[in-house]
Amino acid sequence: MAQQEPTVIFAWVVEKTMDGKTERYLWDLGFVSDISKLGPEGSAAISALFIISDVPASAQLPELLNHLNPPPATLDTLTGMILSHAHADHYGALDEFPSSLPLMVGPGTKAWVDGSPDEEKPVPPWFWNHPKFIGEVGEEGAKGKGEGWHKIGSYEKAFDFFGDGSFWLMQAPGHCPGHQVALCRVSTSPDTYVLLGGDTCHSRYIYTPFPTPVARSEIACWAHPAEGPAESTKGTHTMHVDVAEAYKSIARLTRMEMEDNVICVVAHENEVAEELGVGVGEMKQGWEKWKENGWKKGKERGVHPKPM
């Protein structure tokens, strides 16, 4: 059944050299290998939705950085961390990173976390209180070289973090408050981009091609195994707090994917890991040459997922 397929969780290092100085940001922090770290409410909430097994401690960030050769970053070379959104499979073991590393999140995240009662907080307080600085993109301390929000591509609100059009942090509402995606320029002349799509949706086949209206409720909703076999029951759960907004954000992703020089990758895009042969706790080197390497070919061929 679909619910028992293993799920990829991507984390990325965004590296930028400007004026002879290199900055490195971790985009998403993966998942915790031991969910009891999330506290009783947090681990119960996760267990109710997913089966968690076989997440080796060595595949958990930041420990994972010690097992990659060469490491794309170390705790000493990281400049900061950016979350696509404040869910447990994206903030990982936040408390194991140095508290001096700044954490940046999308606008709306702080109100959501701070405004939720303790037992319902999307981030446990002992994680959330750990970094010395948490800023929402665009705020003082979380602006980089950016100035204000701009329309870029199909996105209405994008922040030019390095000030040169190379790294846009873009609001992509729907999945949860503060959800954001990132458009990263990975080569110039010609310009090519990787769009880190976070949890805009949870499979390649949701945003490419964009589903027809009749398929929409199916792709946004799912059934817990306890409700019966997937094929026999109508899904009553949804991955998104605002399904209407989520559709719009998915459509934006689809539109960007239509560009020859953009490749979108959502955080749980299992097909990418399969096509590139990336296993648990492994990495692929830089994405500067994704186009010449043909990493978008699988999508262009319209390969259909394995029957589940």
Residue 86 C-beta: closest distance to Zn ion, Å: 11
Residue 79 C-beta: closest distance to Zn ion, Å: 24
Q: Draw the binding track, 30-69, toward Zn ion (x: CB under 5 A; -: no contact).
A: ----------------------------------------
Residue 222 C-beta: closest distance to Zn ion, Å: 14
- In three-state secondary structure terms, 121 is coil
Contacts of residue 4, defined as CB under 8 A and 6 or more positions apart, other chains included, come to 51, 225
Please choose, out of 36-44, 70-78, 194-202, 299-307, the segment that lies near Zn ion by the rule CB under 5 A. Answer: 194-202
Please choose, out of 18-26, 176-184, 197-205, 249-257, the segment that lies near Zn ion by the rule CB under 5 A. Answer: 197-205
- In three-state secondary structure terms, 56 is coil
Please choose, out of 31-39, 98-106, 139-147, 193-201, the segment that lies near Zn ion by the rule CB under 5 A. Answer: 193-201
In the block, tokens 């997922």 appear at: 305
- 140: number of Cβ within 10 Å: 6
Residue 199, interface with Zn ion (CB under 5 A)? yes
Give the residue with the Cβ less far from Zn ion, 28 or 160.
Answer: 28
Residue 28 C-beta: closest distance to Zn ion, Å: 8
What six digits make up the tokens of 178?
Answer: 């503060």
Give the residue with the Cβ less far from Zn ion, 89 or 257.
Answer: 89
CA 66, CA 82: separation in Å to the nearest integer?
Answer: 20
In the block, tokens 């076999």 appear at: 229
Give the residue with the Cβ less far from Zn ion, 89 or 271.
Answer: 89
Give 261-274 as a 3 state SS string. CEEEECCCCHHHHH
Residue 28, interface with Zn ion (CB under 5 A)? no
Q: In angstroms, what CA-CA distances link 158 with 18, 125, 147, 179, 265? A: 21, 29, 10, 12, 18
Size of the site for Zn ion (CB under 5 A): 2
Give the residue with the Cβ less far from Zn ion, 199 or 269.
Answer: 199
Give the residue with the Cβ less far from Zn ion, 55 or 152.
Answer: 55
CA 262, CA 270: separation in Å to the nearest integer?
Answer: 19
Residue 179 C-beta: closest distance to Zn ion, Å: 10
Give the residue with the Cβ less far from Zn ion, 89 or 269.
Answer: 89
Q: Draw the binding track, 74-113, toward Zn ion (x: CB under 5 A; -: no contact).
A: ---------------x------------------------
Strands (E), the chain: 12-18, 21-27, 80-82, 103-105, 134-136, 149-152, 155-160, 167-171, 180-187, 192-196, 221-222, 237-238, 262-265
CA 210, CA 118: separation in Å to the nearest integer?
Answer: 37
Residue 87 C-beta: closest distance to Zn ion, Å: 5
Residue 83 C-beta: closest distance to Zn ion, Å: 11
Residue 271, interface with Zn ion (CB under 5 A)? no
Contact 281/33 with Cβ under 8 angstroms? no
Residue 257, interface with Zn ion (CB under 5 A)? no
Question: Binding residues for Zn ion, per CB under 5 A?
Answer: 89, 199
